[in-house]
Amino acid sequence: MERVAFDKHAKAKSLRACPLFAALAPEDLSALAGVAAARVYSDGDLIFRENEAAVGFHIIVAGAVKVCRFGADGREQVVHLLGPGDACGEVPMFQGGGYPAHAVCLGPVRTLFLPREPFVALARRKVEILFSMLGVLSTRLRHLVQLVDDLSLKEVSARLAKHLLDLSARAGGIRTVELETSKAMLAGRLGTIAETLSRTLAKLKWRGIVRVHRHRVTILDPAKLQALAAGMKL
């Protein structure tokens, strides 16, 4: 991790891009920018570790970050994939305690670090921050509930089918989508291992449901993919 110079105007502009601070008045945004510290990370760097004392949180300015945990067997579970404008490590800001997971950089990353005490002090004066924080935390909670449901109730084929359909929906319904991460990373996100993911993709391909070329997947039979996502056996 490296601390870098970042003028106050540039900090305020980056903070404005975060939904958490979109409703703040310019003077409040400027005050927040005054305590924010610009940081630069390299690929594979840990922004924070699970259970490390939470002394602040980050706004991602550029790059991608995975938030993950490890089971007793050492298997990685990717909880979130975050990008520019996203908050990272904000969950314990009001409760205190440690970070609930690891945050790992996927390539070069730039962030703005906001110390806990100045942020909480501003939030006490500006109720719009609290409402924005509630919105962010509610979205994260819905995601985690869905993740628990998927991991506990659905087979790998159903999780993969749902992921491909979600990618297609986010891209406007197009049938050819790009897997945004490596197979190992996607496997971690889906709660499995790379070998199992590869076998499942091969089965989808053999059944004529998808076509795979490197990181590009073309959905050939959306109806069957939707049936798999709903629980049909592969």
Residue 150 has pLDDT above 80, yes or no: no
Mean pLDDT to the nearest integer, 3-19 = 80
Tokens of 99: 């970070």
Confidence of residue 152 (pLDDT cuts 50, 70, 90): low
Contact by Cβ (8 Å): 179, 215: yes
Once rounded to an integer, what is the mean pLDDT over residues 46-60? Answer: 94
Cα separation, 132 vs 55, in Å, equals 20
pLDDT over 70, % of the chain: 94
Look at the domain 2-143 and name its fold: Jelly Rolls (2.60.120)
pLDDT at 53: 93
Question: DSSP code of 21?
Answer: G
How high is the pLDDT of residue 200?
92
Mean pLDDT throughout 167-178? Answer: 86
User: Which CATH number applies to 154-229: 3.30.70.3000, 1.10.10.10, 3.30.1360.170, 3.80.30.20?
Assistant: 1.10.10.10
* Cβ 65 vs Cβ 147: under 8 Å: no
What integer best gives the mean pLDDT of the chain?
85
Is 154-229 in the same CATH topology as 2-143? Answer: no
Return the domain boundaries, the chain: 2-143, 154-229
Which pLDDT belongs to residue 81? Answer: 84
Range name among 2-6, 12-16, 89-93 with the lowest pLDDT average:
2-6
The whole-angstrom separation of Cα 222 and Cα 166 is: 12
Q: Which residue has the higher pLDDT, 139 or 18?
A: 18
Model pLDDT, residue 5? 60
Find the angle CA(10)-CA(11)-CA(16) to the nearest 5 degrees: 100
Q: Dmax of the chain from CA atoms?
A: 59
Mean pLDDT value of segment 144-172: 80
